[in-house]
Amino acid sequence: MKAVSIIFTGLLFLINTSCQDSKPMVDEPNDLSVTSDEVENIVEPVEAEPMYKEHHIEIREEHVNDEFIKGCIKAINEDDAEAIEYDYRDGITEERAAILMTYWLPEQPWRMKDNFIALLMDQDKSIIGALAEHELDSPNDERAYALCILTDNWDQFDEWLDGRWDEVDPAIEAYKNSH
């Protein structure tokens, strides 16, 4: 019991001396009234700039009340792959795919176009064929999605995504040569 008392006394001594040695930093205010005045001068954060400021997609008036389409476009604008895959892809219908295709343009940046193909990859090529054809030239992984969509063959898709990219480009060339 005496050993516990000695340890406890030692801990109290350490805590007490460390608190006494603590001094305010040079710029640290000693009273809270100064700090509360400064709080009033804080500027509210401005909404983040869209990733593709130059090519930012604006929602058209006819879709302003469609939360799903607005969410899809926001995810594309913000390059939000997680939202595209987990929040929106499964909710895409033929009608929604057709609407979203009206927002796609060949002159958009590759990452933006890649987001479109990632979002719409489960749709029929009769709706997204133009996008898929264009995506064959993507410098990114989404060119594999495009090839699978256009050929209706997803057999090698998982293997390609697991690192067999050396097979994707020859398969794309073979597709282009046959069409």
Distance CA 50, CA 35 (A): 34
* Residue 160 CB neighbours (<10 A): 20
Tens-digit pLDDT string for the chain (179 aa): 554 444 545 544 445 545 454 455 555 455 555 444 554 554 554 554 555 567 799 999 999 999 999 999 999 999 999 999 999 999 999 999 999 999 999 999 999 999 999 999 999 999 999 999 999 999 998 999 999 999 999 998 888 888 788 899 999 999 999 99
Q: How far is CA 72 from CA 40, 103, 145, 169, in A?
A: 37, 11, 18, 29
The answer to whether residue 29 is domain-embedded is no
Q: Provide the residue range defining the domain that includes 96.
A: 53-178
Within a domain: residue 4?
A: no
| Domain count of the fold of the chain | 1
Confirm whether 5 is domain-assigned: no
What integer pLDDT is reported at residue 43 of this predicted model?
52
Question: How crowded is residue 67: how many other Cβ atoms within 10 Å of its Cβ?
Answer: 9
Whether 41 is covered by a domain: the verdict is no
Domain assignment present for residue 30? The answer is no
Whether this model's pTM surpasses 0.85: no
Token duo for residue 120: 């719409």
